């Protein structure tokens, strides 16, 4: 099975290297091919998502992605900025369903921004829509009638886009504790009113799932007040982006959260939810666990290899139980040594 490795920028190559070590140790017949993406690709090939990289992503059975984002590129025209690479991959490959599980490793209760008794309740999945919303609506800069500069980004969802992510949310809930909370802003936004109506319609197919609705502002509050109430959250692209960063700090660190971005057939791109962290790049300070856990999700969801996926997750738990703590977790264990600790736990 061919795995496309797209390490990207900043700490991306460092965390991908550790995930590859872990995957290689499992000896499950994976073949790796690497291609540049993001700012690295812009610098090497003039585009954040060069055709050869997109081609590799299409050919591969699964994609393991590091991170994109490079301050050197912040003043480029938007089409050439590193972030366009991940947005382009999601759109081109139809990766509309983004699963972001957040669960507290008991060993990390002290690293959570929440009190341990609150944090220990967290075990949820955020199902984030990934190819629509304000991210992909019409956008631009224009002048108002008064001559003022105005930036605009259109938020829009059609009912088919909402229905397919709602199905993904209900299915995720069926496979877990049977509770789905749909998060929107229907008290203000028409996009959200349609979202809520369609989620209610789709719920007719899932009588066994307990559905609730919540406004996104309330959800942000509930995530820190009582995160244990959530099983599966389904939400749009922008709200899911924000809520998943928040959920990550509730489980100790943004360096811990993996994600899967899936198309309708289950092909996927796997990436840590964190960014390229240019401030710590090249210093061995990055936590590779989110990427290693993303590799486990890849084995489980796209490659149908649940046993090695379990082994990785157990090894991460063992590494943490053994005291391995990267800098984001308040420790001093460097990136490679975190990888060593996971390898030792396999
Ligand atoms: C994420 C990231 C991306 C997003 C950026 C890098 C474009 O924040 O995957 O959460 O906003 O989706
Ligand atoms: Mg984000």
Q: DSSP letters of 117-181?
A: HHHTT-EEEEEEE-S-GGGTS-EEEEE-TTS-EEEEE-----HHHHHHHHHHHHHHHHTTTSEEE
- C-alpha dihedral sign at 318, 321, 327, 332: negative
Residue 204, pLDDT score? 98
Residue 249, pLDDT score? 85
**19: buried, middle or exposed (CB in 10 Å: 19+, 13-18, 0-12)?**
buried
- C-alpha dihedral sign at 173, 174, 179, 185: positive
Q: How far is the CA of 29 from the centre of ligand 1 (A)?
A: 31
Q: What are phi and psi of 306, to 5 degrees?
A: -65, -30
Is the CB of 289 inside a 6 Å radius of any atom of ligand 1? Answer: no
Q: What is the pLDDT of residues 70-116, one digit of tens each?
A: 999 999 999 999 999 999 999 999 999 999 999 998 888 888 889 98
**Helices 335-345 & 12-26, crossing angle to 10 degrees?**
20
Residue 107, pLDDT score? 86
Closest-CA residue, ligand 1 atom 12, reads 241
Q: How far is C-alpha 178 from the geometric centre of its chain's CA atoms?
A: 22
Closest-CA residue, ligand 1 atom 9, reads 273
Is the CB of 86 inside a 6 Å radius of any atom of ligand 1? Answer: yes
Q: Are 312 and 299 in contact (CB under 8 A)?
A: yes
Residue 40, pLDDT score? 97
As a whole number of angstroms, the distance between CA 318 and CA 312 comes to 10
Residue 109, pLDDT score? 84
As a whole number of angstroms, the distance between CA 297 and CA 169 comes to 17
Q: Are 256 and 286 in contact (CB under 8 A)?
A: no
Q: What are phi and psi of 285, to 5 degrees?
A: -95, -5
Residue 253, pLDDT score? 86
Q: Where are the beta strands (DSSP E) in the chain?
A: 2-8, 31-34, 62-67, 97-103, 123-129, 139-143, 149-153, 179-184, 210-215, 232-235, 258-262, 268-272
The closest-lying atom of ligand 1 relative to the alpha carbon of residue 241 is: 10
Q: How far is C-alpha 89 from the geometric centre of its chain's CA atoms?
A: 13
Given a cut of 50, the residues of the chain with pLDDT beneath it are: none
Residue 87, pLDDT score? 97
Is the CB of 54 inside a 6 Å radius of any atom of ligand 1? Answer: no
């Amino acid at each position: 099975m061919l795995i496309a490795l797209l390490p990207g920028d900043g700490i991306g190559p460092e965390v991908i290297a550790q995930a590859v070590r872990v995957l290689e140790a499992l000896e499950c017949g994976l073949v790796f091919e690497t291609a540049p993406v993001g700012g690295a690709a812009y610098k090497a090939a003039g585009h954040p998502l060069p055709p050869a990289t997109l081609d590799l992503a299409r050919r591969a059975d699964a994609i393991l992605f590091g991170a994109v984002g490079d301050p050197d590129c912040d003043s480029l025209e938007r089409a050439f900025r590193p972030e366009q690479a991940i947005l382009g991959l999601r759109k081109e490959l139809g990766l509309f369903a983004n699963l972001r599980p957040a669960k507290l490793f008991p060993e990390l209760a002290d690293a959570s921004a929440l009190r341990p008794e609150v944090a220990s309740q967290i075990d949820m999945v955020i199902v984030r829509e990934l190819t629509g919303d304000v991210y992909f609506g019409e956008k631009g800069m224009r002048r108002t009638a008064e001559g003022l500069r105005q930036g605009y980004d259109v938020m829009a969802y059609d009912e088919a886009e909402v229905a397919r992510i709602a199905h993904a949310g209900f299915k995720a809930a069926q496979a877990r504790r049977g509770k789905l909370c749909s998060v929107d802003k229907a008290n203000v936004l028409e996009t959200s009113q349609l979202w809520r109506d369609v989620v209610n319609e789709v719920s007719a197919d899932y009588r066994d799932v307990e559905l609730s609705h919540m406004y996104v502002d309330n959800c942000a509050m509930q995530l820190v007040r009582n995160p244990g109430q959530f099983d599966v959250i389904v939400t749009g692209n922008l709200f899911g982006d924000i809520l998943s960063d928040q959920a990550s700090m509730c489980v100790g660190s943004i360096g811990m959260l993996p994600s899967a971005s899936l198309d309708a057939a289950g092909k996927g791109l796997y990436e840590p939810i964190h960014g390229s962290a240019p401030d710590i790049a090249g210093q061995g300070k990055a936590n590779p666990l989110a990427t290693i856990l993303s590799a486990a999700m890849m084995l489980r969801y796209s490659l149908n290899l649940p046993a090695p996926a379990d082994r990785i997750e157990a090894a991460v738990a063992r590494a943490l139980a053994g005291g391995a703590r990267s800098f984001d977790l308040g420790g001093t264990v460097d990136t490679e040594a975190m990888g060593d600790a996971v390898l030792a736990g396999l």
